[in-house]
């Protein structure tokens, strides 16, 4: 099952921005940003922090926490 961990594409649409625009701002190849937007790959936490600043949104708005794998025991 493919996990859609990040919401970068959703936030870009909400902000009226494109993958190419974001790629230019973060200094990455547009193909890399495209992979993030389709959840084929995930950016580092540092990159997510940078993206949240660029898009003027919170870090938690970029991540689907319910899609993260469960780790350890539940208390």
Q: Against a cut of 0.85, is the pTM above it?
A: no
Segment 14-61, tens digit of pLDDT: 999 999 999 999 999 999 999 999 999 999 999 999 999 999 999 999
pLDDT bin (cut points 50, 70, 90) of residue 66 is low
> Thinking of the domain 8-57, which architecture would CATH place it in?
Orthogonal Bundle (1.10)
Contact assessment for residue 12 and residue 37, using Cβ atoms and an 8 Å cutoff:
yes
Task: State residue 5's pLDDT score.
Answer: 85
Tell me: pLDDT of 1 over 70. Answer: no
Q: How far is 39 from 7, CA to CA, in rounded Å? A: 9
Contact assessment for residue 36 and residue 8, using Cβ atoms and an 8 Å cutoff:
yes
Task: State residue 71's pLDDT score.
Answer: 63
Task: State residue 64's pLDDT score.
Answer: 78
């Amino acid at each position: 099952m493919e996990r859609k961990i990040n919401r970068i594409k959703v936030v870009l649409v909400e902000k009226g921005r494109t993958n190419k625009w974001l790629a230019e701002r973060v200094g990455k190849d547009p193909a890399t940003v495209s992979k993030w937007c389709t959840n084929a790959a995930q950016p580092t936490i540092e990159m997510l922090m940078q993206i949240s600043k660029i898009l003027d949104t919170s870090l938690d708005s970029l991540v689907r926490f319910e899609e993260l794998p469960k780790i350890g025991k539940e208390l």
